[in-house]
Amino acid sequence: MNPETKSRRFVLAGVVIVLQMAWIWWIWRIPLPNAKSLNSGDPITRGLLLFSNVPGLNPAYRWSSSVIGDSFNELANVSALIDRLPIVGYALALICAAWGLGRLALLRIHPPSDSDSSWLPGEITLASMAVGIASWGAMTLALGRLGLLNQSIWILIVFGFCLVAAKLAWEDHKKSQLISLKRFVQFIPWPAWPFVGLMILASMLPTIDFDCIEYHLQGPKEYWQAGRIQYLPHNIYTNMPFGVEMLHTSAMSLAGDWRTGALVGQLLIGLHPILVAGFMVFITRRWGRPQIGWWAALFYLTTPWTYRLAAIPYVEGPLCAATIGAFWAVSRAWAFRSAGSWAMVGIMSGWAMSCKYTAILPVVVPCAVAVVAELVRSRSLKPLLFVILGGSLIFGPWLVKNIADTGNPVYPLAWNRLGGLDWDTGMNSKWTSVHGRKPIEIKLLWSNLVEVLARSDWQSPIYLAFAPLALLSDSQTRRRLLQVLGIALWIYLSWWLFTHRLDRFWLPIQPMLALLAGAGAANLRFNQGVMCWRFFVVAVILIGNWIYTLTPMTGLNEWTHPLAILWKSVPNRLDSESLQVDQSLSASDKVLLVGEAAVFYWDHPILYNTVFNQERIEQIASGRTSDQIRAKLKELGVTHLLVNWNEIRRYRQPGNYGFTDFVTQALFDGLVRDGLLMPSYPISLTKSLYRVRP
């Protein structure tokens, strides 16, 4: 190295160190917006968590009262995890079966030959897992619509696909295509294992999130209880693509129990970050820069958002896997130009769309741009046809389901043009006012960008610390990284321009940021001193992320508590009054819930609706006399009514969703005077329980 180059690198290293020091200083001091302030009123910051919980930094440090100490005490109770063994067993069976389905599909769609050099060692296994998970949702939907959610049937289905998996895995092993244990471990860099271990444990805890107990888990529970996947007119969210929720549905069918099945599905969702890591590893191996994949996988797996998406069964974890899977598929298809490789692009896009409709922005649009470019390059329609074929196999069944149920393939979207059952102008207005895109205010553009890059509680400071250094890559790698940067910018801008800017909607950007930051970290190797500084920065940030992940601010952290206790304590913490009512009912009782939709933990039969559906009590009582209402309640088998006034008041607050004016205290007082209802024992000031007179 000549003196001039050495001098430039020395100056560059100094600039990098100064900028990273300034970044860490700033990010460690800004308050976490979603974290509650301390009793003293001081805001919680990343720096406060770090310095108060690391021995040697805080003079008043006490192990017994620290986040780390509490967590290690919790994790020490390993023997209690024996009740997770059935969950792990069912999950492994489903993973094996899904891999068998995916490997079988891959043989038909994109069969490799003995001389095929388009597959890296172990890549077929990863692709089979992704195709299998995507196909599993479509298969479960088809079987569920036929009423085949019986446990015996699912035992046979899973066992059959496991046999297929064993046969194909053995054949792959003989051809050296199977991922070895060493390669599998390479997907998960060694510093990330503590995070991955916590993800796995957290995914097997009963969830505390409202959306999950309203529809992500409640929908599959109702399907399983009914023995079929059917139209649920009272839960509008179950008309969305439910590909991820099919993991819960199939697990409930296999286990013959909705509680166990829900946790099995959560565990399967919690394992998706490993797929993300795997795709990043193979993408960068194709670039000839495998070290970028190692760093990218490390950064993604150690991000608090990644842990949160495993601890709470949102669909964004699988969506991130589908996003990076689509990027991997496009890179392969662009290089090898085979029909099967373009079909894989369609499958990955369909997988993303089966997670949620918003995937059209971060996944489908970039894939469409790549397909158009290929059409121009090849002057053939084959790539487009095979992309459509692959996408239709995975996403098409959800459109067909909605057509059959409501007449609108994307119900309740596009209602003004396509119509749809059980929907009207008022309901559509309420829906679009909440879920429509926010007004364009340029002053918010920068503020929201800061949130995405740093200010979000669960974001990792590691991305911005290293991503700019990706520009130091060699020219060929830099061109590829500019594509990654372009997709990242598109994901952010499309989120900002076309959605209502819910934070979870920008999460598909995370794998792209991880690749950019991974490249930056891989480039920071000028000399031993710079590499030592890189180690220091990464260590400080990861320790801070680890401490934050240990706190309840990322999700329930009772990792080793017995499930028998958690199934009682979690519902009690969320809604003790409803739990009290549920436990007091007899086997023949049935409750009509008014203003309450977070119902997953109810044991007894219930009638409910989400705030965006027609209110059931209004459907029953509007325009009817008390005798007619009594007859309708008897027909429905309703014995009790539970009114959640607290939720109703919340919905009626300015800026909230709104709630029908039909529901008032006077309505129920009148039904009591008419002898239809009689007030039951008092629950609280926020809820009223009535018993229907026989």
CATH code, 626: 3.40.50
Window from 5-14, 302-311, 656-665 with minimum mean pLDDT: 5-14
Is 474 in the same domain as 596? no
Q: What is the pLDDT confidence band of residue 683, given thresholds at 50, 70 and 90?
A: low
How confident is the model at residue 529, as a pLDDT?
86
Mean pLDDT, residues 20-30 taken together? 91
Give the largest Cα separation in the chain, rounded: 96
How confident is the model at residue 172, as a pLDDT?
75
Element (H, E) at 640: strand 640-644
Is 356 in the same domain as 435? yes
Q: What is the pLDDT confidence band of residue 273, given thresholds at 50, 70 and 90?
A: very high
What is residue 176's three-state secondary structure?
A: coil
Is 181 in the same domain as 309? yes
Q: Provide the residue range defining the domain that includes 678.
A: 575-692
Q: Give per-residue pLDDT as tens, 543-572.
A: 999 999 999 999 899 999 999 999 999 999
Residue 28 lies in a domain: no
Last residue of a domain, one of 492, 520, 554: 554
Name 692's bridge partners. 677
C-alpha distances (whole Å) from 503 to each of 435, 449, 516, 539 are 13, 11, 21, 27
Last residue of a domain, one of 521, 554, 587: 554
Q: Give per-residue pLDDT as tens, 623-659.
A: 999 999 999 999 999 999 999 999 999 999 988 999 9
Residue 71 lies in a domain: no
536 compared with 111, residue with greater pLDDT: 536
How confident is the model at residue 304, as a pLDDT?
97
Window from 61-70, 71-80, 406-415, 504-513 with minimum mean pLDDT: 61-70
Residue 496 lies in a domain: yes
Q: What is the pLDDT confidence band of residue 527, given thresholds at 50, 70 and 90?
A: confident
Specify the DSSP class assigned to residue 423: -
Window from 15-19, 89-93, 214-218, 640-644 with minimum mean pLDDT: 15-19
Q: Give per-residue pLDDT as tens, 85-116.
A: 999 999 999 999 999 999 999 999 887 654 55
- Taking the C-alpha atoms of residue 360 and residue 352, their distance in angstroms, rounded to an integer, is 8
Close Cβ partners of 329 (under 8 Å, ≥ 6 residues apart): 341, 344, 345, 347, 348
Residue 400 lies in a domain: yes
Is 520 in the same domain as 377? yes
Using only C-alpha atoms, what is the Rg of the chain? 27
Q: What is the pLDDT confidence band of residue 6, given thresholds at 50, 70 and 90?
A: low
Mean pLDDT, residues 391-408 taken together? 97
28-58 per-residue burial string, b: 16 or more CB within 10 A, e: under 16: beeebeebeeeeeeeebbbbbbbbbbbeeee
- Taking the C-alpha atoms of residue 450 and residue 438, their distance in angstroms, rounded to an integer, is 18
> What is the distance, to the nearest Å, from the Cα of residue 142 to the centroid of all Cα atoms in its chain?
23
- Structure tokens, 592: 């009509």
Q: What is the pLDDT confidence band of residue 12, given thresholds at 50, 70 and 90?
A: confident
Is 101 in the same domain as 163? yes
Last residue of a domain, one of 502, 522, 554: 554
Would you say residue 680 has pLDDT above 90?
no
Residue 61 lies in a domain: no
What is residue 642's three-state secondary structure?
A: strand
How confident is the model at residue 488, as a pLDDT?
98
Residue 389 lies in a domain: yes
Q: What is the pLDDT confidence band of residue 532, given thresholds at 50, 70 and 90?
A: very high
Is 395 in the same domain as 295? yes
% residues pLDDT > 90 (the chain) = 78
Is 516 in the same domain as 589? no
The set of long-range contacts for 402-406, using a CB threshold of 8 Å and a minimum separation of 24, is: 402/239, 405/230, 405/231, 405/239, 406/231, 406/239
- 10 Å CB burial of residue 399 (0-12, 13-18, 19+) is middle
Whether the CB-CB separation of 236 and 422 falls below 8 Å is answered with no
Would you say residue 179 has pLDDT above 70?
no
Residue 417 lies in a domain: yes
What mean pLDDT is reported for the chain? 92
Entry pTM: 0.95
Close Cβ partners of 305 (under 8 Å, ≥ 6 residues apart): 456, 458, 459, 460, 507, 510
Is 123 in the same domain as 245? yes
How confident is the model at residue 187, as a pLDDT?
76
Would you say residue 443 has pLDDT above 90?
no
Is 477 in the same domain as 624? no
Task: State the DSSP string of 498-520.
Answer: HS---GGGGGGGHHHHHHHHHHH
Is 444 in the same domain as 484? yes
Is 635 in the same domain as 496? no
Would you say residue 177 has pLDDT above 80?
no
% residues pLDDT > 70 (the chain) = 95
Residue 50 lies in a domain: no
Q: Give per-residue pLDDT as tens, 462-486.
A: 999 999 999 989 999 999 999 999 9
Tell me the angle at which helices 272-286 and 123-145 cross, rounded to the nearest 10 degrees: 140
Number of structural domains (the chain) is 2
Is 396 in the same domain as 519? yes
Would you say residue 487 has pLDDT above 90?
yes
Would you say residue 184 has pLDDT above 60?
no
- Taking the C-alpha atoms of residue 484 and residue 490, their distance in angstroms, rounded to an integer, is 10
